[in-house]
A = this chain, B = another copy of it.
């Protein structure tokens, strides 16, 4: 019997790198389409890995079965993996104009030919993919043109929320309109596949308009130069800041590549009409401090971003001085705490005032809090919920909230779980392999074969390389030693290289000639260094 299936390969059990598949068919004969194809940024423990993305092997091994990719919106965790994964499929890509503008820029950067492959749809349009009829439904989020998906297969109806919030005053685009969701009142939704990011947070996320009003008030009270950092992709926020600045007679300087990239994309699709022009960075120095607002990248403390450069006095055109104010109109993405705090301390040291969400109302989240989730449950009235877009604590919170608000079934799953969705229920069908791809330099590599583990290990233990010339199975001359990442001296002031030499001498002069020379050397050196250093270095032996 043909069935409808849902399979997340990324973004379920984690925040980031979303990649979801919906399939319809029987046995091995299932046709799929993909929803989103995103990345996660690097993290501690994976040194030298710039990006991570879902391992698409499951679908790549049957690539003729992938009918298309729908991109719900342009955040990196939803489109960032496209340049690395899509070229393998070259299937049709369905998305809206703004998302397409940013995607095309990405593809151009990697010289990827996408001619005739991107199909633009508007809010409310139907996309036919294989056996599916998918309706794009514009919801509010922290980036323009986010679309939820009403997915109809011959055997089930699914509402895939994408990333959303209820914002009646989103500054850019239409406000959240529940009519769009009531519109399909006559359809019974079998499964709600729902954003869980803020499922642990009570109340509502708040509107962009309320942030705008607050920023207007805050900016009005500040005297010196203002640096305001936010997520560049939040076009509404950029608009709000520009308008708030104009109201208080400040010119807005754009700083940072991300800001320019988004502003260009937004302008190209007609999203920033009516705003005063931004001032070029090169001209920022000519403006009086009290007439300046610098809208810059770097709210996460990124070392190379504009705000960090300014803090270090390394920016080519812009300086920050005593009396200035830095506003972080953003949240802290977990893992970035140390960098952000370090940045704030650099400003504090210069007697520059810092305003964060702890001090004033300067930011709202783009994801639904509990009251918004409950409203969604009530609007959609699904038979079941499958929480996605969250770590396990978020998925569980979303499931429990749904249960407490009238949704009978919930299914907490993880990446790689194939769920069967019918008009009766949702159930775990089977598990497929899932994992990650890493971008290491420009090479894309499977997580299980990544050299970052070995690099991480050496970063704790250092490395000793011993090179030996053998002649007629005898050591010809004194072995050469390279020690990388070890202390030079032990606690008594004896060189660690002397200890290595001594261990080598012992092995070489030993009368016991049985056993493998390489492992005898390795063991002796590791044992000796462990004794004086307390750690076991990696040892490599080269024989000539």
State the A residues within 8 Å of B (CB): 13, 43-44, 47-48, 200, 334-335, 337-338, 341, 344-346, 348-349, 351, 354, 358, 391-393, 395-396, 414, 440-445, 449-452, 454-456, 458-463, 465, 467, 469, 477, 480, 482, 484-491, 532-535, 538, 540, 542-544
In the complex, chain B residues whose CB is within 8 Å of the CB of A442: 491, 533-534
Question: 9 closest pairs, A vs B, by CB?
Answer: A441-B534, A47-B459, A459-B459, A442-B534, A455-B485, A441-B535, A348-B393, A348-B392, A48-B460
Contacts of A454 in B (CB 8 A): 484-485
> Taking A337-B334, A345-B392 as contacts, is the C-beta distance between A463 and B441 under 8 angstroms?
no
B48→A461 contact, CB < 8 A: yes
Give 19 new A-B contacts, CB below 8 A, not counting A348-B395, A443-B533: A13-B349, A345-B392, A345-B393, A346-B392, A348-B392, A348-B396, A349-B414, A354-B393, A442-B534, A451-B487, A456-B459, A458-B459, A463-B484, A465-B467, A465-B542, A469-B469, A469-B544, A480-B543, A484-B538
Partner of A484, one of B341, B449, B540: B540
- What residues on B are CB-neighbors of A200 within 8 Å? 358
Q: List 14 A-B contacts (CB under 8 A).
A: A48-B459, A48-B462, A334-B341, A335-B338, A346-B392, A442-B491, A442-B533, A442-B534, A456-B459, A458-B458, A465-B540, A467-B467, A467-B480, A467-B542
* Bound: A13/B488 CA distance, A: 30
Q: Which residues of B contact A490 (CB under 8 A)?
A: 443
- List chain B residues, Cβ under 8 A from A338: 43-44, 334-335
Across the interface, do B477 and A544 meet the contact criterion of CB distance under 8 Å?
yes
Interface pair A542/B485, CB less than 8 Å apart? no
**Option from B354, B451, B463, B467 in Cβ contact (under 8 Å) with A544:** B467
Please give the distance in Å from A242's CB to the nearest CB on chain B: 28
Max chain B C-beta neighbours (<10 A), residue from A450, A459, A465, A543: A459
By a CB distance below 8 angstroms, the chain B residues around A337 are 334-335, 337
Q: Are B455 and A462 in contact (CB under 8 A)?
A: yes
Q: Bound complex: CA of A442 vs CA of B486, how far in Å?
A: 12
Question: Which residues from B are CB-within-8-Å of A445?
Answer: 487
Q: Whole-angstrom distance between the alpha carbons of A503 and B483 in the complex? A: 24
Let me know if B462 and A463 touch, CB within 8 A.
no
Which of A450, A454, A542 is most buried by chain B, counting CB atoms within 10 A of its CB? A542
Q: Contacts of A461 on B, CB cut-off 8 Å? A: 48
A398 CB to closest chain B CB (Å) equals 11
Closest to A399 in B: B351
Q: List residues of chain B with CB within 8 A of the CB of A489.
A: 443
Contact A344 B393 (CB under 8 A): yes
Task: Point out the residues of chain B lying under 8 angstroms from A463, CB to CB.
Answer: 458, 463, 484
Closest to A460 in B: B48
CB neighbours (8 Å) of A451 from chain B are 462, 485-488
**Contact in complex: A345, B391 (CB < 8 Å):** yes
Q: Which residues of B contact A543 (CB under 8 A)?
A: 480
Partner of A396 from the list B351, B452, B459, B535 (CB cut-off 8 Å) is B351
User: Looking across the interface, which residue of chain B has its beta carbon closest to that of A48?
Assistant: B460
Residues of chain B with a CB closer than 8 A to A334's CB: 337-338, 341
CB neighbours (8 Å) of A542 from chain B are 465, 467, 480, 482, 542
Smallest distance from the beta carbon of A527 to chain B beta carbons, Å?
A: 14
A469 cross-chain contacts in B, Cβ below 8 A: 469, 544
Give, as a whole number of angstroms, the nearest-CB distance from A74 to chain B: 25
Could you tell me if A482 and B345 are in contact, using CB atoms closer than 8 angstroms?
Answer: no
Of chain B, the residue at the smallest CB distance from A486 is: B451
Residues on B with C-beta less than 8 A from A47 are: 456, 459-460
CB distance from A14 to the nearest CB of B (A): 9
Question: Is the beta-carbon distance between B358 and A487 smaller than 8 angstroms?
Answer: no
Do residues A441 and B396 form an inter-chain contact, with CB atoms below 8 A?
no
- A342 (CB) vs chain B CBs: closest residue: B391
Q: Please name all residues of chain B whose beta carbon is closer than 8 Å to the beta carbon of A486 when the two chains form the complex.
A: 451
Contacting residues, chain B, for A456 (C-beta < 8 A): 47, 459
Give Cα A465 to B354, complex, Å.
48
CA distance A543 to B532 in the complex (A): 28
B-chain residues with CB within 8 Å of residue A44 when the two chains form the complex: 44, 338
| Residue in B closest to A491 when the chains form the complex, CB atoms | B443
Taking CB atoms, residues of chain B closer than 8 Å to A345 are: 13, 391-393
